[in-house]
A and B are shown apart, each in its own frame.
Chain A
């Protein structure tokens, strides 16, 4: 087990299985088709992301450097949370980007009962260490345990 210290963007605790991308996560390309056509597993639809394409994101600990792509990204993430089709948490190796921050904040302020902890600044070492299927525990103070 290894611990990483990050910064809390939106609070919460959760334990979930990791899905990992070392490339930028394109929120629109990844989630839109799954949300639009009711994919129960919320499989990643981004053809350009070979690490995630076709993998379920629902209730997973999504480990990523940052999000990229369309500025609908934040509202897509917000909708995913409102529809309870969101990852269990989002763990950023880098500083969070403006689109992901918007989505996380919108969900935190405007969606009742949702909890999608978001932690950023976990560092390159975090993304190098974590692998698909590992067990992730997010603690309140921005500590992320990987085992």
Chain B
């Protein structure tokens, strides 16, 4: 890798041993991908994936402390993934004991570190930092040092920013020195599609199911999706963005997709069309039968597969304001149909703190509360990642949550039926 004089000086230790190690990390990381150079980060803010003060992750906090002790901090302020705990979310005595006394004992300590390192504000905790309400929305062409797979794939695909699927810790190291290695999704070549996915379903495909199918097929490659605009339109409005948020999160967690193009919709697909398709790209056709096959192949790891669900999470990644409103309307209508007033299964809807703040200003908030649904800013994944939850029959419409935990996946429509007491 060819470094500028300034970069070389940092690597040589002229600005201290710790900063030299940060630069060495980025150079080695770039070397693994034959990166020729480091390029400046141009986004206003960074976004970090590590939001949780898990005792087991002590090596991460030790490393952060090394950075702070050496007087090193982020050049950019940043948002970070959701907090893992919220008293509003149902938890029994044992769960609370495990969460507070064994698992997240480093939470306060780590949040203090985050503030010292450059956290945007006390509400800057969400996987959907790019929501208007959250204020961390990069511009087209911005170079980022983000992590969080669902945010990276959204920033690349829907916003047209440029970011690799960086890991936690690498994210902040980029913004400490102000540079990231130039490879992969930062380059024009790396943004070309090596798969053409043809959507040939008879109805609008479920976002999280379609994303899952594509993720499992293309893994880390770039898909160019044709036929989806028929169902979600040619405009990046609230509905389309929410759909792509959920779709992208599933491609990233069920596979390792960092960028997708949707014909006639996403910015680069609109600008360049099928010129984005690389020579020799493979083809994957998705019809109703393929989506059914994918959903039927998800393993059910509940001890009793017929157990009655005890908890439902919706909002991984976090819901948008419009999604919260739509769910409110749908639940009310479904409850009315079934002659009930409240949801039959304890249900938690998760969204970014600032999105919830805006939601709470609308009449929808009281209406949703009246149905018994709880709103929260937490990360359902962090809530679920413990042996106690493994034994608990939790349902979700998040394919990301399904992938990483024992939660069982249902489509949004099936979830609606289940939580309102009907059959799916």
Contact = CB atoms under 8 A, between A and B. Distances in A.
Interface of A: 9-10, 24, 26, 28-29, 32-33, 35-37, 47-48, 66-75, 78-79, 82-83, 95-99, 101-106, 108-111, 120
Contacts of B66: 110
Contacts of B404: 26, 28-29, 32, 69-70
Interface string B41-56: 0000000011000101
B32 A96 contact: yes
Question: B interface, how many residues as a size bin?
Answer: 35 or more
A29 B387 contact: no
A98 B164 contact: yes
Nearest to A101: B32
Contacts of A71: 49, 147-149, 152, 165-168, 171
Contact of A97 (B25, B57, B256, B387): B256
Contacts of A120: 32
Contacts of A70: 49, 149, 253, 404
B255 A72 contact: no
30 contacts: A29-B404, A32-B385, A32-B404, A33-B387, A47-B299, A48-B299, A68-B220, A68-B256, A69-B149, A70-B49, A70-B253, A70-B404, A71-B149, A71-B171, A75-B57, A75-B168, A75-B169, A78-B59, A95-B33, A97-B220, A98-B167, A101-B32, A101-B33, A102-B166, A102-B167, A103-B167, A106-B170, A109-B24, A110-B25, A110-B66
Interface in B103-123: 103
A82 B57 CA distance: 10
Nearest to A26: B403
Nearest to B165: A98
A48 B401 CA distance: 12
A21 B288 CA distance: 30
A118 to B, nearest CB: 9
A97 B170 CA distance: 14
B301 A47 contact: yes
A80 B8 CA distance: 31
The 8 closest A-B pairs by CB, nearest first: A74-B167, A102-B167, A82-B59, A75-B168, A101-B32, A71-B147, A68-B256, A105-B28
A47 B390 CA distance: 11
A63 B28 CA distance: 22
A93 B301 CA distance: 30
B254 to A, nearest CB: 8
Contacts of B253: 69-70
A51 B29 CA distance: 29
A110 B387 contact: no
B40 interface: no
A105 B166 contact: no
A36 B403 contact: no
B386 interface: yes
B178 to A, nearest CB: 18
A129 B63 CA distance: 39
Nearest to A50: B299
Contact of A66 (B164, B171, B256, B299): B256
A122 B392 CA distance: 41
Contact of A68 (B32, B60, B168, B255): B255
